[in-house]
């Protein structure tokens, strides 16, 4: 029978994000071990969770092969020491894998099938580049279902620039620089470290401990960004500086019914209000957060003005600016990505959705005047996903 219980976000953690490739901190670390490390860290800091009472484990990955294959939710659960009675499965919705893991298991909680779940994602883009070994159906191009640009995320960002020429390269570079600056400020203020699970690693120079994100470049300047190449189009506008990078990392969240969370004294960081996914033209996949957010707001009976904090995944600067522009928000709106975003932190594809939730939950605790927040992201092949959350710390708007 469907439940009238609310779905709550109890907690979430992540590994530090590394740069993909042979020089990255996780080059010699398995993808599934990254997810295991995050899961173990999450359970260790939530000792009230009875492991045998976890009803489901959903772990996402975009390129499900090798050490990122074999039904990740089940294998990671077993490797993390969960009882054999706990089931699990894998998910693929490209960039929104972890977000989908959360919303899919949340649906089970809302229906009454689950009380406690673990949901997250992992991406080791060094070992498994996006689309590696994929074989797109030739009908996509032969029947002109999509253009070739739709299969190249950077090219879709250039297409967004074409569609919205007022979103200039200078604006996207300025946004990217602010993201780097906000990440540096958030680290300096101690807002990031508390939700990171350090990972022991091995590199050519020996053994070490990864305790911070590898990708941020706080030294970024407008002059440096202006000089970067445009790899997706000659004389284009999308560069490595105003895009997220290629990264490795894992995230895991603990969700529960409100009743179970209170009975087990788990604590509640956020309450799920609504979620929605939407499709757009694959050639401009970055526009997906706009219709997804419209749908999520409509389902919640809210307007964009009700949202006090936004976590928008920064796949590309132009994609974020297109979202802000549609809703009449300034490029530097202080409600948006208070701690910076994927342009600096990195974007290990299927793991990023929970990273957004972790940051929003932290901000909710610091902003009791905010009642609602949004996590949203664009998704490859022309989709968007949005989740609206309520702040359990809400004390009413400040005067």
pLDDT digit string, tens, across residues 314-373: 999 999 999 999 999 999 999 999 999 999 999 999 999 999 999 999 999 999 999 999
Alpha carbon distance 237, 228 (integer Å): 10
Q: Look at residue 146 in the predicted model and tell me its pLDDT.
A: 87
- C-alpha gyration radius of the chain: 20
CA dist list (Å): 228 to 18, 165, 173, 276, 344: 22, 20, 10, 36, 16
- Supply the DSSP symbol for 65: S
Other C-beta atoms lying within 10 Å of the C-beta of residue 110: 17
The model's pTM: 0.97
Higher pLDDT, 144 or 234: 234
Positions marked catalytic: 95, 347, 378
Closest CA to 317 of 244, 386, 217: 244
Alpha carbon distance 171, 372 (integer Å): 28
pLDDT digit string, tens, across residues 206-246: 899 999 999 999 999 999 999 999 999 999 999 999 999 99
Model confidence at 396: pLDDT above 90? no
Residue indicated by tokens 């959705």: 353
Helices 289-300/317-326 angle, 10° precision: 40
By percentage, how much of the chain surpasses pLDDT 90?
Answer: 91
pLDDT digit string, tens, across residues 97-119: 999 999 999 999 999 999 999 99
Helices (H), the chain: 31-44, 72-79, 97-111, 139-142, 153-163, 169-188, 222-226, 258-263, 289-300, 317-326, 342-345, 352-366
CA dist list (Å): 346 to 131, 173, 197, 342: 18, 16, 16, 4
CA dist list (Å): 215 to 170, 229, 240, 311, 391: 22, 19, 12, 19, 30
- 395 burial level (CB within 10 Å; 0-12, 13-18, 19+): exposed
Q: Is residue 322 a contact partner of residue 166, using CB atoms and an 8 Å limit?
A: no
């Amino acid at each position: 029978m469907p439940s009238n219980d609310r779905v709550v976000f109890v907690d979430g953690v992540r590994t530090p994000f590394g740069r993909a490739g042979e020089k990255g901190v996780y080059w010699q670390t398995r993808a599934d071990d990254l997810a295991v490390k995050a899961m173990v860290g999450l359970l260790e800091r939530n000792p009230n969770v009875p492991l045998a009472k976890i009803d489901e484990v959903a772990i996402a990955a975009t390129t499900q092969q090798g050490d990122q294959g074999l039904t990740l939710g089940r294998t990671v659960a077993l490797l993390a020491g969960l009882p054999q009675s706990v089931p699990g499965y894998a998910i693929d919705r490209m960039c929104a894998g972890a977000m989908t893991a959360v919303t899919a298991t949340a649906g089970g909680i809302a229906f009454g099938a689950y009380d406690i779940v673990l949901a997250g994602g992992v991406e080791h883009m060094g070992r498994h580049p996006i689309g590696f070994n994929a074989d797109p159906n030739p009908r996509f191009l032969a029947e002109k279902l999509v253009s070739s640009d739709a299969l190249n995320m950077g090219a879709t960002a250039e297409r967004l620039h074409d569609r919205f020429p007022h979103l200039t390269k200078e604006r996207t570079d300025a946004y990217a620089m602010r993201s780097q600056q906000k990440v540096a400020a958030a680290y300096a203020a101690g807002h990031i470290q508390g939700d990171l699970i350090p990972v022991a690693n091995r590199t050519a120079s020996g053994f070490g401990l990864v305790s911070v994100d590898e990708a941020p470049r706080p030294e970024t300047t407008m002059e440096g960004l202006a000089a970067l190449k445009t790899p997706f189009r000659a004389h284009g506008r999308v560069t490595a500086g105003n895009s997220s990078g290629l990264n490795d990392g894992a995230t895991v969240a603990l969700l529960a019914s409100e009743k179970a969370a209170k009975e087990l004294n788990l604590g509640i960081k956020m309450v799920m209000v609504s979620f929605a996914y939407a499709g757009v033209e694959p050639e401009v996949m970055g526009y997906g957060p706009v219709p997804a957010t419209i749908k999520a707001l409509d389902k919640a009976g809210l307007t964009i003005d009700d949202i006090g904090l936004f976590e928008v995944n920064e796949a590309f600067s132009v994609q974020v600016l297109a979202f802000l522009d549609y809703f009449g928000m300034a490029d530097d709106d202080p409600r948006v990505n208070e701690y910076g975003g994927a342009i600096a932190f990195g974007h290990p594809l299927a793991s990023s959705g929970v990273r957004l939730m972790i940051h929003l939950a932290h901000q909710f605790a610091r902003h009791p005047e905010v009642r609602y927040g949004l996590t949203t992201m664009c998704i490859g092949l022309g989709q968007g996903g949005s989740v609206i959350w309520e702040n359990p710390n809400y004390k009413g708007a400040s005067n």
